[in-house]
Amino acid sequence: MERAIFAGGCFWCMVQPFDEQPGIYTVTSGYTGGHVKNPTYEQVLTHTTGHTEAVEIIFDPAVIRYTDLLQIYWQQTDPTDAFGQFQDRGDNYRPVIFYLNEEQKVAALKSRQALADSGIFKEPIVTQIEPAQPFYEAEGYHQDYYKKNPQNFALNHQRRAEFIKEHWEDFDA
């Protein structure tokens, strides 16, 4: 098994696209990139911890490749918005690909450049690619939110879903 860590706004909306793929063992909501050990959701919301909401994915590379995960990631985010994602604003919602090794770094950089070259977006691609830092699992009520609270999830996911449809529906990877 291997790990991948992605931040793309509210972690509630980042779980389902990965969770439904073959070869994915777990998708865990959590916090990373900051300076506070074991932060709580309330602490992260204060914008004083340096953390961003993220998902940690444990996957079988024999079934799904890291490059496939990158493609799924890009199609869940607005890579032109560095200050949050959709209705979620602030540094704790910034889009980041956290790499765990040189191979992931190279793949992430290549995929970001390919997206920029594709012309899908007129604005620059601003998603950051940074070395992974400790990942802290979020509180239990944040895990599998889309399954536990489908109506609230749908409401929170609406703007993202509209963006995905507008930008990716006719895109052939």
The label of the residue with tokens 């191979």 reads 103
> Which among 5, 10, 15, 115 is annotated as catalytic?
10
Pairing, β 136-137 against β 24-32? antiparallel
CB 58 within 8 A of CB 3: yes
- Find, among 111, 92, 95, 94, the residue nearest to 103 by Cα: 111
Catalytic residue at 13?
no
Which residues have a Cβ under 8 Å from the Cβ of 142 and sit 6 or more positions away? 11, 12, 29, 41
Catalytic residues: 10
